């Protein structure tokens, strides 16, 4: 598990930082998919975006954890 990140004396959990990075990555992927017209083929875009967030979070968590890639 991640430790904490200290920013001017305020401790932030590592998962919070990874979640913010994931949100940024998910928004970029979603924007590209929307521009390509992918969402016309998706039944429920909000569920798709939620699932995409969880998948990208898992990928980033695996990459940034100590036992990761």
**pLDDT (tens digit, 9 = 90+) per residue, 30-50?**
999 999 999 999 999 999 999
- The boundaries of the domain holding residue 35 are 4-64
Residue 4 phi, psi (nearest 5): -110, 155
Mean pLDDT of 5-28: 89
Global pTM value = 0.82
Q: Residue 63 — pLDDT band, cuts 50, 70, 90? A: confident
Q: How many distinct structural domains can be found in the chain? A: 1
Asked if the structure places residue 69 within a domain, the reply is no
* Whether 52 contacts 33, CB under 8 Å: no
Radius of gyration of the chain (CA): 15
- Distance separating alpha carbons of residues 8 and 36, to the nearest angstrom: 42
* Whether 5 contacts 12, CB under 8 Å: yes
């Amino acid at each position: 598990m991640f430790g904490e990140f200290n920013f001017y004396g305020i401790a932030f959990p590592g998962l919070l930082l990874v979640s913010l990075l994931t949100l940024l990555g998910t928004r970029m992927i979603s924007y590209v998919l929307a521009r390509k017209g992918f969402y016309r083929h998706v039944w429920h875009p909000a569920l798709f975006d939620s699932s995409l967030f969880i998948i990208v979070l898992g990928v980033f968590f695996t990459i940034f954890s100590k036992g990761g890639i």
